[in-house]
Structure 1
Amino acid sequence: MRIPGLGCLKGCLFTVVILFVAGWLIWELSPLQDWIGTGKGYWDQLTDWFGTVTGWIEDLGGPSEPTN
């Protein structure tokens, strides 16, 4: 049985997995950790960057409550 669109989905998911693995290998096997100087693992650093970016995007929206 053929599921329409599964080829594209597999390709996209495979690309995301390859990019994740490549990023992890670069993080672990290059001096990138020392250049950034955090000493964190790959997943810890990604979650920290994600939190920083989401905080920055929330700040772009301005204050959520009106100030008096």
Structure 2
Amino acid sequence: MAKRLYFIDFKKCLNCSICLPRESCEYKCIVQEAVGDALFIDNSCRGCGKCLLLCSQNAIKHLEI
């Protein structure tokens, strides 16, 4: 079975002040190390795809491995 991994395309991410994917992630896997740093998706991601649908900049991508 393929595993779905999500990542943030830093060229498209505007680091919105209110990131809907980050706010709506029930696993809280879209994180930021410090204020102003780029967001990233950590390994607690379950691959539900909700963030992919909510990002207004289409900055969240997925890979199937």
Q: TM-score, length-normalised on structure 2?
A: 0.26
Greater RCO, 1 or 2 (C-alpha within 8 Å, sep 6+) = 2
Greater radius of gyration (CA): 1
**Greater strand share, 1 or 2?**
2
